[in-house]
Amino acid sequence: MMFCPKCGSILMPNQGKLTCPRCNYKTTEKQDTVMREKIESQKAVDIIEKEIETLPLTDAECSKCGHKKAYFWEVQTRAADEPATKFFKCQKCKHIWRDYS
């Protein structure tokens, strides 16, 4: 790709010559164009194999280990006019149970 030395536009091929569409500059010179791309190495991304809990924590006793804290979330498992089902996950042993109240 060559550019016009007068106005900087891209020179377009026209009847064996390169012509500027803006200022009508014409040339028959041919230049070899070499395209190069420099790729910088990217830093490696560290993968952490740790589970991060984003659920809220509440007071609830685990029936399996007796721990007093559990994460909770609600899901609408029944009809829309009935209350949602509350799920708990023990903070210590990761046991999951439901509360239908």
The Cα–Cα gap between 66 and 78 comes to: 29
Distance of alpha carbon 6 from alpha carbon 37, whole angstroms: 27
Number of H helices, E strands in the chain: 0, 7
Is residue 81 annotated as part of the catalytic site, yes or no?
Answer: yes
| Catalytic residue status for 82 | yes
Q: One of 61, 74, 82, 99 is an active-site residue; which one?
A: 82
Catalytic (active-site) positions: 81-82
